[in-house]
Amino acid sequence: MSASAWVKVALERLNCSQKELAMRLGVSPSQITKWKADEYMSLEMEMKFEELTGITDQFPDFVLLAGSKTSSEKWARLILFLADFAAEQAETGYDTWPLQEEPKLLCWNTFHTLSQMGVSIPGKFPEELVRILDEDCNDGDFETSIENFFASIILKIFKSLNDVYAFYAAYVAELTDDDEVLETGLEIEACLMSLAATKIEVSTDAAPKFRNFTRDVRKDYERWLRQVQEAALSSGKPIRAEIMDLIDEDHGSLGFDAEAESLGVNKNRLHPDIYMNELLVGMRAIHQVLPAIIKKLDISEHELAFDRTQLVRGH
């Protein structure tokens, strides 16, 4: 996470000056200035910031977006609750690991995605969502709380992620093992929540940056998936689905395809590009050995002559 976020959180939490913060950390005031400009911060120094601020369960960037440590704790509980709820509803045959990952990363990724969409996160945790965090929350309270815009949009993204991740796990992940596209594969997996968010319905009033966000995410994925597809074709790896569907199809269709794969329905399916590649390889091999065969059998050009129209279907 950013060094500048740690500095900002520390100054707010400790209510001190930059000079006083430097003294507490045992560094120069100029070092604080460098961190404010997002210069590299060591893990040891991050741990010092955690100790000073008391923020150990969340990334500082998440706390800043939440408005305070207290609000961030409530938001984190809500996000984790909705993640569990969404994961339990997945019907793809695949576990949605991004919803079960390290809580700090899940919370930050959720808020980062909302921020990129232009969603304005309130500085104070909405009172109407407090009830959903109560262990005694009944069905009525749950239904009321889930209608809240923030709970609703987060849950929509998580449900979309169920389907998007399942398609990725079924058809794309296996193509990113080669060193040539290993880094690209990491990018694809890391940004799946953003891709899932592009597939939900949300008004531009609530998310004013949504169109630009969607355009940018799709552009990244088009580049990444082309690289993966080209590497697979080059190495002869079977592509068992049109992986560009990860971008183009709605999340429901992706989940349906992934479920079919998990049930073994698509066991022998290959992408048309693989068939074409195999045909081309076979034709090239024939072209290489055919002259030697003709020479060995002493076949004349006259004997090789044939009517090309006989090769066309219908003649």
Convert the pLDDT of each residue in 128-148 to its tens digit. Answer: 888 888 777 777 777 777 788
Query: Which parts of 130-250 fold into alpha helices (H)?
Result: 139-146, 149-167, 182-190, 192-197, 210-235, 245-248
Q: Give the type of residue at 47.
A: M
* pLDDT for 314: 52
The answer on 218 and 136 residing in a single domain is yes
The answer on 162 and 46 residing in a single domain is no
pTM: 0.81
Residue 161 lies in a domain: yes
Q: Give buried/exposed letters for 226-258 (b at 16+ CB in 10 A, else e).
A: ebbbebbeeeebebbbbbebbbebebeebbbbb
What residue numbers bound the domain in which 289 lies? 275-311
Residue 83 lies in a domain: yes
* pLDDT for 307: 64
The answer on 232 and 189 residing in a single domain is yes
> Which segments in the chain show pLDDT lower than 50?
313
**DSSP class of 308:** G
The answer on 94 and 110 residing in a single domain is yes
For the chain, how many structural domains are there in total?
3
The answer on 286 and 242 residing in a single domain is no
Residue 297 lies in a domain: yes
The answer on 247 and 153 residing in a single domain is yes
Q: What angle do CA 163, 59, 113 make, to 5 degrees?
A: 35
* pLDDT for 155: 96
The answer on 159 and 18 residing in a single domain is no
* pLDDT for 145: 78
